[in-house]
Amino acid sequence: MKPDVLVYYPTRARQMEMLEARYTLHRLDLAADPDALLAEVGLRCTAMVTNGHRVLDRALLAKLPNLKIAASSSAGYDTMDVAACTEHGVTITNTPDVLTDDVADIALLLLLATRRKLIVGDRWVRSGDWGRNGPLPLTSATAGKRVGIVGLGRIGRAIAHRCEALRLEVGYTGRSRKPDTAYAFFPDLVELARWSDILVIATTGGADTQALVGAAAIAALGPEGTLINIARGTVVDEPAMIAALQSGGLGAAGLDVYLNEPTPDPAFAAMDNVVLYPHHASGTFETRNAMAQLVVDNLSAYFSGKPLLTPVNGEIQR
Ligand code: DGY
């Protein structure tokens, strides 16, 4: 008898084949009547395959009374009620580390593209404006400027290392000073924004960081400032950011994440001082395969009684 596993959000095709070979998969993601499927198999499923874009809350947990593991194919888990999962005896696993380089690369891609107006320049060439109107207006240099990083975790550090190579001075804010780095620490986010030419948001999403970068930080970054967000749309006060970008109170923004995904506020599309990416910082074959494999490997560890590879909220209570 193969164990029953609920698929709330599928993972990569090759890893889905591996899962199918080992388990009886119940496709909640494809179910015409999700409630009927949960009523039928909810008791039998001790494991779930999911993703950070799916909500795992008390209501769903109540329909899965024997669930022990929710294996997610994303690093972020802000859509999952971690406290409720812990109370319910469910361990969440996520996919840290394997996406760090790709996400940090996209932060730098957005940083440079935004400051050097890559998209405007591309249009300048394609449209014939170059021939008609002459050179693109000058842009602002990056080397020698200051970058403030909000959240010096694994991804924040990878961004900081890349920024050093660009000859940027690095400062950061976070819950506490990191004893193993000489980067300037700012306990206050608004002070960091005031010091910075570029502010890069690399913190986790969720209730603790909701609108953390608000109107005051945006105003402190100012008309010459560049805001980069590769974390979660929720971390920024998005209406305040849009208003500042429109009025010139904030210079420019490079964004991978938004409040309303996948249909962000249409105001973004009308602005030339933003560079937009569709929440795809980890979207390479190599990284997505590694993330999917972690889902498979965490489930294997669970079903063979071994320690989980990347648990978020403690080990499985067997
Ligand atoms: C993550 O892994 O959390 C990324 O944002 C992709 O979902």
Q: Does residue 308 form part of some domain?
A: no
CATH number at residue 208: 3.40.50.720
pLDDT digits (tens, 9 = 90+) for 269-295: 999 999 999 999 999 999 999 999 999
Question: Hunting for tokens 């890069």 — which residue is that?
Answer: 200
- How buried is residue 315: exposed, middle or buried, by Cβ count under 10 Å (0-12/13-18/19+)? exposed
Please tell me the predicted confidence (pLDDT) of residue 254: 99
Q: Does residue 313 form part of some domain?
A: no
Residue of the nearest CA to atom 7 in ligand 1? Answer: 74
Q: Is the peptide bond before 266 cis (omega within 30 degrees of 0)?
A: no
Q: Is 75 in the pocket of ligand 1 (CB under 6 A)?
A: yes
The percent of residues above 70 in pLDDT, for the chain, comes to: 100
Exposure on the CB side of residue 139, measured as CA atoms within 13 A: 20
Distance 293 CA to ligand 1 centre (A): 15
Q: Show the CA angle centred on residue 296, arms to residues 291 and 300, nearest 5°.
A: 140
Residue 128: pLDDT band by 50, 70, 90 thresholds?
Answer: very high
pLDDT digits (tens, 9 = 90+) for 207-258: 999 999 999 999 999 999 999 999 999 999 999 999 999 999 999 999 999 9
Cβ 249 vs Cβ 223: under 8 Å? yes
Q: Is 76 in the pocket of ligand 1 (CB under 6 A)?
A: yes
Question: What is the spatial distance between Cα 90 and Cα 178, in angstroms, rounded to a whole number?
Answer: 31
Distance 94 CA to ligand 1 centre (A): 9
Q: Could you tell which of 78, 99, 105, 234 is best to mutate to test the pocket of ligand 1, judged by most ligand atoms within 8 Å of the CB?
A: 99
Atom of ligand 1 minimally distant from the CA of 77? 3
Please tell me the predicted confidence (pLDDT) of residue 185: 98
Residues 242 and 142 in one domain: yes
Atom of ligand 1 minimally distant from the CA of 232? 5
Residues 80 and 110 in one domain: no
Q: Does residue 243 form part of some domain?
A: yes
**Within 145-201, where are the H helices?**
154-165, 189-195
Strand 47-50, strand 24-27: pairing: unpaired
Distance 52 CA to ligand 1 centre (A): 7
pLDDT digits (tens, 9 = 90+) for 29-41: 999 999 999 999 9
Residues 39 and 105 in one domain: no
Please tell me the predicted confidence (pLDDT) of residue 315: 86
Residue 305: pLDDT band by 50, 70, 90 thresholds?
Answer: very high
Residue of the nearest CA to atom 3 in ligand 1? Answer: 76
Show the tokens assigned to 50: 């999911």
- How buried is residue 210: exposed, middle or buried, by Cβ count under 10 Å (0-12/13-18/19+)? middle
Residues 186 and 293 in one domain: no
Residues 222 and 182 in one domain: yes
Atom of ligand 1 minimally distant from the CA of 53? 7
This prediction has a pTM of 0.96
Q: What total of structural domains would you count in the chain?
A: 2
Atom of ligand 1 minimally distant from the CA of 76? 3
Residue 316: pLDDT band by 50, 70, 90 thresholds?
Answer: confident
Q: Does residue 309 form part of some domain?
A: no
Is pLDDT at 151 greater than 90 in this prediction?
yes
Mean pLDDT on 177-205: 98
Residues 152 and 260 in one domain: yes
Residues 33 and 179 in one domain: no
Residues 130 and 234 in one domain: yes
Cβ 151 vs Cβ 201: under 8 Å? yes
Q: Does residue 226 form part of some domain?
A: yes
Distance 75 CA to ligand 1 centre (A): 5
Domain boundaries, position 27 = 4-98+286-303
Question: What is the spatial distance between Cα 107 and Cα 83, in angstroms, rounded to a whole number?
Answer: 30
Residues 79 and 207 in one domain: no
Q: Does residue 74 form part of some domain?
A: yes
Is pLDDT at 9 greater than 80 in this prediction?
yes
Q: Does residue 310 form part of some domain?
A: no
Residues 108 and 94 in one domain: no
For residue 27, the cross-strand partners are 7
Residues 113 and 222 in one domain: yes
Q: Show the CA angle centred on residue 106, arms to residues 214 and 231, nearest 5°.
A: 35
Please tell me the predicted confidence (pLDDT) of residue 32: 98
Q: Which amino acid is at 27?
A: R
Is pLDDT at 7 greater than 80 in this prediction?
yes
Burial 224-238 (b: 16+ CB within 10 A, else e): ebbbbbbbbbbbbbb
Residue of the nearest CA to atom 5 in ligand 1? Answer: 76
Q: Is the Cα dihedral 72, 156, 162, 213 positive or negative?
A: positive
Please tell me the predicted confidence (pLDDT) of residue 181: 97
Residues 226 and 117 in one domain: yes
* Residues taking part in catalysis: 232, 261, 279
Question: What is the spatial distance between Cα 288 and Cα 293, in angstroms, rounded to a whole number?
Answer: 8
Atom of ligand 1 minimally distant from the CA of 74? 2
Distance 282 CA to ligand 1 centre (A): 7
Q: Is the Cα dihedral 61, 63, 67, 71 positive or negative?
A: negative
Q: How many CB atoms lie within 10 A of CB 261?
A: 12
Distance 155 CA to ligand 1 centre (A): 12
pLDDT digits (tens, 9 = 90+) for 63-89: 999 999 999 999 999 999 999 999 999
Please tell me the predicted confidence (pLDDT) of residue 130: 98
